[in-house]
Amino acid sequence: MKLGVAAVVVTRDRREKLAMCLDGILGQTVPADEVILLDNCSTDGTEDMVTRHYPSVTYVPLPENIGGAGGFHNGVRIAYEHGHHWYWLMDDDAIPDPDALEHLVNAGVVLPDVGFLCSRIRDLAGKPVNLPAVRSCVQTGSQSHAFDEFMDRGAIRVVNCTFVSVLIARAAVEEAGLPIKEFFIYGDDTEYTERISAKHSGYYVHASCALHLVHQEDVINLKLVDHVRLDRFMYQVRNCFYLNRKRGGCELMWFCGGTVPVMMIKAMRRKDHRLRAFLYVLLGLLRGIVFRPRIIEVRVPSKR
């Protein structure tokens, strides 16, 4: 029986990890109807590997590197245009447990007003990572809900999550539109799931699990990160400024008065490239002030 599930994966130059990710997706107890892979101009032989060993995967080479945000923007759009009802978004360095999708789909049947359902994620050391945001009271539209309302069904209400094993409903995409491709990297998943949870419910499904091929200490730290990746912090600050501006004045004040100064201090405590790191944070802040990307809506088929 087809469930109308499309798995959407974005990759770039991580062929070995991608193979483990695809094996995990294709080995599900409840299989996805289509696996859509967006390739951000990989140069490591990804295309050859996919076409040789994963012929069932819909391989979409992108003409340029448009980042994870651009990849997921296009992936959700393609999955929607293909007529699927659920979109299972996954980073290329994530390996879902064999029954991860089954638990998400089952939860989607019994829980009300589902916008998205996210999995429990662990890192290589078995520690929890990619934690969704939980608040004691979750506001969805005009309704206020306790986060533990469906604890007996193995789910809690959440406000946002990452794109590491999250199942998004078609109705939510029709109302919220697509992920913001201009984010390029960082924050696109948080912004998108928050946008969805403003009108539909988001849930964390404890029984659905996935492995993220990272260590907790690998989480980006401006003080320790390799200098070749410093430019990413411009996107992080810019996108976070936009997100906190949407959340409201207090959130934005806390970000500008607390988070940004801490990042600047970390930049100046680096062993190398201190000024460059500091300038990326400052540039991100300045660009965030004028950053107002347009949210692209999907074309909803007309009812006859």
Q: What is the pLDDT of residue 142?
A: 75
234 closest CA partner among 285, 158, 167, 197: 285
* DSSP helix/strand/coil, 156: strand
Confidence of residue 174 (pLDDT cuts 50, 70, 90): very high
CA dihedral 276, 280, 286, 291 (to 10 degrees): 150
The 10s digit of each residue's pLDDT in 110-144 is 999 999 999 999 999 999 999 999 988 888 877 88
- CATH class given for the domain over 5-217: alpha beta
Q: How many CA atoms lie within 13 A of 150 on its CB side?
A: 22
The 10s digit of each residue's pLDDT in 262-298 is 999 999 999 999 999 999 999 999 999 999 999 999 9
Alpha-carbon distances of 76 from 88, 110, 208, 219, 294, rounded to whole Å: 9, 24, 21, 26, 16
Q: Which residues pair with 36 in a beta bridge?
A: 8, 58
Give residue limits of the domains in the chain: 5-217, 220-290
Confidence of residue 220 (pLDDT cuts 50, 70, 90): low
Full-model pTM? 0.94
Report CA Rg, the chain: 19
Query: What residues contact 193, with CB distance under 8 A and at least 6 apart?
Result: 115, 116, 118, 132, 159, 160, 161, 166, 202
